[in-house]
Chains A and B, each alone.
Chain A
């Protein structure tokens, strides 16, 4: 009889989330839901100019406004709060000093200039309007490609606007292009996007002067890394800083950062000895939370007439914005790593020029450099197929590595762990009945309808990553503990914010320990409780963090087995552990894991030299990244009269290795596709020629709505990886990476009658209509 009376495992089943009961009843606690007695509120005066000198700031009237407690400007805190840090380390990288409040000049619209502290939200916001700043506008740099060529310089000390030039790739690309039968080239633009987590950022800082301890509640994906950085910035010992990521309302990379407000609120609380809170408005979120993408470049592919790829070249400009946030310069380097896509390409070269502009920094947004690579490769494949007269599916198939060629070495220096790209593509083709679809398309075209079929096969780099390839450690940690009452506590260094690891990590642990799922409690996001961890980003939480849970649980079982053998008065080798029960004693006696846990805590009957308690911690260092892959097919119909795009079907076959909880995996794919589709069709951050943010509200920035999105038809193939014992690869970004080219390829396919080779995203009806009506 097992301890929980079950033999069925949790892993692999669509277990309903344990997080949900609190969230569907409005009982979760996001930062703004945490209330401390006497808390004060902070509002910011932010730069209305993209580039300006600050001649003076007059805060007198604001200081006298009702409810105002204090006001801080850049000069008030100069030298007392460290600069906003960047973790990216690239050869020759120029790093401008990024003060938490502007000093002397402002460099982008939304940059914090002054902070008002008041007794209420309304009073703080009112007082901002009483601050007088004399701004002297300066020349503005908006266009990254133009800025790389010359013109006004943003950071004078550097002499130009080029932050770095990054070269990637292996092989003789020039020789590949010289020997090619066919070269296709296309200029492509990856527009700037806003991540738009539904919960904006928020910070609550509380300093206790007696204990000299700071607690910082903040909406972050990386509580431990943030603790380290904020401690350095404000000069407190790191072990006196406790960062808590409570319920976090989405991140998508935007909360994988260290922001000015996080350090500044901490500093203000230390000055005032009061809790201080700042909750970002959506307008602030659009202007002063990181953006994503923003690459523009020329991509070229060299092929033989039979479709064999010989080489790929990508010359690209990355619009970094005015300053480096945590990973700003590093994101385009991920593009360079993934330019082989899922194809055998013997020679690859990327030259990326990172350029300063008077805009908010770009940084990691879901996919972070990989969607750009996939888009470039998958668009080139379709353009090449068209120009060579080969079906786009056949061209892809011809260049796939076969399953027995893995681990597969790319000309970008990676080793893809495992893959079966044919299988995923075949499954997707079968789901849409591809050959028949092409026949129907012919008759539709003959009837004057504009129907397009878009295919995208992708591979992505996940489970970030081996520490040698990461700026601040790529491992993850877990502690598993069984309490005296038999309840199991799991502490993960990952920091889930919607992905559902409270459930999936409980599934893993419950299965291994043979206990009921409801007896496992997963704790995350509190540096005062959880051992140091890295956090949640780069589709790493389950592949790296889940693996740490597995190894910690194994360690715990190993200790429990020793104690069980002692309790059963037999040798450890005789003891077996199944469904939560240790057995193997000559007299058939058994003990449960819960009984062992109690014995471990009572500690009066333990084997000699045994440490009391039952707890194990493991730090897992992955030996490689993982490389999930898949095939997405999109079928669209374009309205001739309006240019409107209707998605008729969307099919996605993703392979993320083994699956812990299919419900969660599907959810990740759904959301990812929606964001990729948003980029393909709707979304774009727009700054005008003065560097003014035109898309400053959700009225102007088009986040997709329910009626604009299709029903997704999903399936999976399952190719395990040997990078981790769970065989999981990661799935958080797959949908975003696979979907964008599938949609654009479909629309361009639909517009074939008009001889269109490429249209830059977002494919708004107006652009399509201009193509159709030749205007």
Chain B
């Protein structure tokens, strides 16, 4: 099937098998390998991207379902060399160790902050419950998202 989608502001057109997963389209067709695969069953969240601004798990979305949509991946988050506040938060607060869950975790946090710009700690923890991290014990991730929320709220004002 022929599909066309906009990834990180750039148009991608391809003829794909109907069963091709969006995550494989991103990684193998668009060569954007920042989006990772950790479980193939939408349980770990490593493959989280924004699909028309909502955080989704790209391992359980077909590429054809994303036809005509906008996709934002971790590679599209920083603009003009400037890190996104969530990326900065993760760096500042040591919110990553092995880094494998990180792109998905950051995209999930972006999705969360689109819905709630001043989440409480409990709301952050609940909001990220679809994303597993085995290294950090989550505390620094929570702190990273809180600090990003503060920075983004400041920018809005």
**Which residues on A are within 8 Å of B, measured CB to CB?**
16-17, 19-21, 23-30, 32-33, 35, 121-122, 196-200, 247-250, 252, 279, 281-283, 497-500, 663-664, 666-667, 670-675, 697-699, 703, 705-707, 709, 711-712, 735
Smallest CB separation, B24 vs chain A (Å): 8
Interface of A is mostly: loop
Query: Are the C-beta atoms of A709 and B137 separated by less than 8 Å?
Result: yes
A-B contact count (CB 8 A): 173
Picked from A25, A250, A699, the residue with its CB within 8 Å of the CB of B135 is A250
B101 sits at the interface (CB 8 A):
yes
Picked from A198, A281, A282, the residue with its CB within 8 Å of the CB of B101 is A198
Smallest CB separation, B121 vs chain A (Å): 8
Smallest CB separation, B3 vs chain A (Å): 17
A27 (CB) vs chain B CBs: closest residue: B34
- Stretch touching chain A among B50-58, B62-70, B71-79: B71-79
Most buried by B among A23, A199, A200: A23
Residues of B within 8 A of A121 (CB): 24
The 9 A-B pairs at the shortest CB distance, nearest first, are namely: A26-B34, A249-B100, A498-B98, A23-B99, A674-B137, A26-B74, A670-B137, A498-B97, A33-B33
Query: Are the C-beta atoms of B137 and A499 separated by less than 8 Å?
Result: no
Residues of B within 8 A of A279 (CB): 37
Task: Given A28-B99, A705-B129, decide whether A664 and B94 contact each other with a Cβ distance below 8 A.
Answer: yes
Residues of A within 8 A of B101 (CB): 198, 249
Report how far A499 CA is from B97 CA in the complex, Å. Answer: 6
B99 (CB) vs chain A CBs: closest residue: A23
B61 sits at the interface (CB 8 A):
no
Report how far A283 CA is from B124 CA in the complex, Å. Answer: 29
A497 (CB) vs chain B CBs: closest residue: B98
Report how far A188 CA is from B83 CA in the complex, Å. Answer: 50
B22 sits at the interface (CB 8 A):
no
Query: Would you give the 0/1 interface string for B118-153, flagging 1 where the beta carbon is closer than 8 Å to chain A?
Result: 000110111011011111111111100000000000
Query: Are the C-beta atoms of A250 and B97 separated by less than 8 Å?
Result: yes
Smallest CB separation, B20 vs chain A (Å): 8
Interface residues of B in 76-94 (CB under 8 A from A): 77-78, 83, 87, 90-92, 94
Picked from A26, A672, A698, the residue with its CB within 8 Å of the CB of B75 is A26
Query: Are the C-beta atoms of A712 and B137 separated by less than 8 Å?
Result: yes
B130 (CB) vs chain A CBs: closest residue: A705
Query: Are the C-beta atoms of A248 and B98 separated by less than 8 Å?
Result: yes
Residues of B within 8 A of A21 (CB): 83, 91
Query: Are the C-beta atoms of B92 and A16 separated by less than 8 Å?
Result: yes
Task: Given A23-B99, A26-B103, A250-B135, decide whether A282 and B129 contact each other with a Cβ distance below 8 A.
Answer: no
Residues of B within 8 A of A35 (CB): 31
Residues of B within 8 A of A706 (CB): 124-126, 128-129, 131, 133, 138, 141-142
Report how far A317 CA is from B104 CA in the complex, Å. Answer: 41
Picked from A17, A200, A670, the residue with its CB within 8 Å of the CB of B38 is A200
Smallest CB separation, B80 vs chain A (Å): 13
Query: Are the C-beta atoms of A199 and B98 separated by less than 8 Å?
Result: yes
Query: Are the C-beta atoms of A498 and B135 separated by less than 8 Å?
Result: yes
Smallest CB separation, A82 vs chain B (Å): 30
Query: Are the C-beta atoms of A252 and B34 separated by less than 8 Å?
Result: no
Task: Given A25-B75, A26-B74, A247-B99, decide whether A198 and B137 contact each other with a Cβ distance below 8 A.
Answer: no
Smallest CB separation, B134 vs chain A (Å): 5
Query: Are the C-beta atoms of B124 and A20 separated by less than 8 Å?
Result: no
Query: Are the C-beta atoms of B87 and A24 separated by less than 8 Å?
Result: yes
Residues of B within 8 A of A200 (CB): 38
Query: Are the C-beta atoms of A671 and B97 separated by less than 8 Å?
Result: yes
Most buried by B among A198, A247, A282, A672: A198
Query: Are the C-beta atoms of B40 and A281 separated by less than 8 Å?
Result: yes
Residues of B within 8 A of A249 (CB): 36, 98-101
A673 (CB) vs chain B CBs: closest residue: B137
Report how far A698 CA is from B129 CA in the complex, Å. Answer: 13
B43 sits at the interface (CB 8 A):
yes
Smallest CB separation, A660 vs chain B (Å): 14
Smallest CB separation, A168 vs chain B (Å): 31
Query: Are the C-beta atoms of A32 and B33 separated by less than 8 Å?
Result: yes
Residues of B within 8 A of A707 (CB): 122, 125-126, 128-129
Smallest CB separation, A239 vs chain B (Å): 30
Residues of B within 8 A of A197 (CB): 98, 100, 134
B101 (CB) vs chain A CBs: closest residue: A198
Query: Are the C-beta atoms of A24 and B135 separated by less than 8 Å?
Result: no
Query: Are the C-beta atoms of B19 and A698 separated by less than 8 Å?
Result: no
Query: Are the C-beta atoms of A709 and B138 separated by less than 8 Å?
Result: yes
Picked from B96, B125, B132, the residue with its CB within 8 Å of the CB of A20 is B96
Task: Given A32-B33, A281-B40, A698-B132, decide whether A25 and B94 contact each other with a Cβ distance below 8 A.
Answer: no
Report how far A16 CA is from B19 CA in the complex, Å. Answer: 42
B139 (CB) vs chain A CBs: closest residue: A670
Residues of A within 8 A of B126 (CB): 706-707
Residues of B within 8 A of A705 (CB): 128-129, 132, 138
Residues of B within 8 A of A282 (CB): 38-41, 44
Query: Are the C-beta atoms of B39 and A698 separated by less than 8 Å?
Result: yes
B46 sits at the interface (CB 8 A):
yes
B32 sits at the interface (CB 8 A):
yes
B7 sits at the interface (CB 8 A):
no
Residues of A within 8 A of B32 (CB): 26
Report how far A585 CA is from B32 CA in the complex, Å. Answer: 56
Query: Are the C-beta atoms of A666 and B75 separated by less than 8 Å?
Result: no
Query: Are the C-beta atoms of A32 and B141 separated by less than 8 Å?
Result: no
Query: Are the C-beta atoms of A24 and B134 separated by less than 8 Å?
Result: no
B113 sits at the interface (CB 8 A):
no
Task: Given A250-B135, A670-B136, A706-B129, decide whether A199 and B106 contact each other with a Cβ distance below 8 A.
Answer: no
Residues of B within 8 A of A674 (CB): 134, 136-138
Query: Are the C-beta atoms of A198 and B44 separated by less than 8 Å?
Result: yes
Report how far A716 CA is from B1 CA in the complex, Å. Answer: 59
Residues of A within 8 A of B129 (CB): 705-707
